[in-house]
Amino acid sequence: VQLVESGGGSVQTGGSLSLSCVVSPDYIIRTKCMGWFRQAPGKAREGIASISPGGSSEPYAESVKGRFTISRDIDKNTLHLQMNSLGPEDTAVYYCAGTRSEYGGRCPTLPSGYWYWGQGTQVTVS
């Protein structure tokens, strides 16, 4: 299993970035919960949002509600995270992740609920 993030970089306060995560093999993004997480220096990894196999998304970080949007393109095996109105507090390494188990209901919100991880992509807002 491979998860490869891209799209990180440096942006000014108020700007936008779009992150992508290509997932292989394709059954992972089709059958597992997928999520975006981030980890700032000296802080614990925190969940941003998840998307279920059925396509239901759930942002669960209060700090990103209304600014970040998770989505997926099944045909391209790609998970996306659109980030708008970025601020310095959003500076972190961003990771995409997938569960090993299949969930019929709500996706897990904690990092411990996810098995597959990408290498991370740095986002810096100044």
Q: What is the mean pLDDT of residues 11-24?
A: 98
Give the pLDDT band of residue 5 (cuts 50, 70, 90). very high
With 90 as the cut, is the pLDDT of residue 61 above it? Answer: no
Measured CA to CA in angstroms, residue 43 lies from 67, 92, 94 at distances of 21, 9, 13
With 90 as the cut, is the pLDDT of residue 58 above it? Answer: no
Q: Strands 121-125 and 116-117: what pairing?
A: unpaired
Q: For residue range 96-113, list pLDDT tens digits in order.
A: 999 998 877 789 999 999
Q: Is 55 helix (H, G, I), strand (E, B) or coil?
A: coil
pLDDT above 90 covers what percent of the chain?
89
